[in-house]
Amino acid sequence: MTKLTSDWLTEGVFDFEYKKYVLMAYLQHIESQFTVNKLYPHLQELKLHFDTCVNIQANKNAMKAFFPKTLTGIDKKTLNLVYEENYQEDSYLSELNYILDFAIPNFSKTLSEGSERFLEVGENIKISPVGIVPLRVEEGYLFFVHTLERMISIFQYQLALYNERKERYLKTVFVESVRLGIGNTMAQIKIDLTRKNKSLPNPATYIVESQYDYPLHETLLPVAKQLILREINVA
């Protein structure tokens, strides 16, 4: 299974064994993608699924705490009052407990694996400016150097407001791929971009170089975007 819907917990057959099968098939696919260093959008989706399960479990526990309890006596050792809970779960909530108790640690394990790979990729990436960095760095260009050929992929970036998780993020748009050469250096490509795009007369421009041939869209681009956010002191 390559995709887990946002309502996977409640859609279809509501049965622990079935949901366990669905979840494990999905996580096996995710782990196979992580093995070939394809992190996105899988890492983001995992975080959303994990947070959803944790929130549902927390809300269930909070609801349970509001139910009245019956005083049954006093603990002679601690002198604390002893209460008996009147709350009883139906079969639906009991099944949900089994599913959440299984899903949360498995989401957490796979999420940790993906996060470790994300950090590993970041450690193997070098980001350096092309020319002098301007005062305004909220907009500019990213030059991704291809490991095995004299090509760069150019993306225009812009610092956006907040995503669904209330975080600042970079919006990126692919511009073009350009071959490097004696008369076509990084500096010259930046000048050419400035001439074409009059709205960015002095763009912040960064070269993104990797020690390894990571997938561009699934890994290099999202990791570089996070590193650039730190570079411009936003993340």
Q: Do residues 169 and 227 share a domain?
A: yes
Q: Do residues 115 and 164 share a domain?
A: no
For residue 166, what pLDDT is reported? 67
Return d(Cα 147, Cα 46) in angstroms, integer. 29
Range of the domain at 175: 124-231
Return d(Cα 167, Cα 165) in angstroms, integer. 6
H or E element: which one contains 44? helix 42-66
CB 144 within 8 A of CB 138: no
Domain count along the chain: 2
Q: Using pLDDT thresholds of 50, 70 and 90, give the confidence band for residue 111.
A: very high
Q: How far from chain centre, in Å, is Cα 130?
A: 28
Return d(Cα 119, Cα 114) in angstroms, integer. 9
Residue where a domain stops, chosen among 122, 153, 173: 122
Q: Using pLDDT thresholds of 50, 70 and 90, give the confidence band for residue 193.
A: very high
Within 8 A by CB and 6+ apart from 72, the residues are: 82, 83, 84
Angle at the Cα of 106 from the Cα atoms of 102 and 110, rounded to 5 degrees: 170
- Asked whether residue 67 carries a pLDDT value surpassing 60, the answer given is no
- Asked whether residue 65 carries a pLDDT value surpassing 90, the answer given is no
pLDDT tens-place string over residues 123-171: 999 999 998 888 889 999 999 998 778 899 999 999 987 666 667 789 9
Return d(Cα 27, Cα 174) in angstroms, integer. 30
Q: Is residue 177 included in any domain, yes or no?
A: yes
For residue 64, what pLDDT is reported? 66
3-class SS of residue 29: helix
CATH number for position 171: 3.40.1530
Q: Do residues 38 and 111 share a domain?
A: yes
Q: Using pLDDT thresholds of 50, 70 and 90, give the confidence band for residue 235.
A: very low
Q: Is residue 45 included in any domain, yes or no?
A: yes
Return d(Cα 40, Cα 181) in angstroms, integer. 32
Question: Residue 140, class by beta-carbon neighbours within 10 Å (0-12 exposed, 13-18 middle, 19+ buried)?
Answer: buried
Note the pTM of the prediction, 2 decimals. 0.81
Residue where a domain stops, chosen among 59, 91, 122: 122
Residue where a domain stops, chosen among 93, 122, 151: 122
Give me the mean pLDDT over the 74-100 stretch. Answer: 72
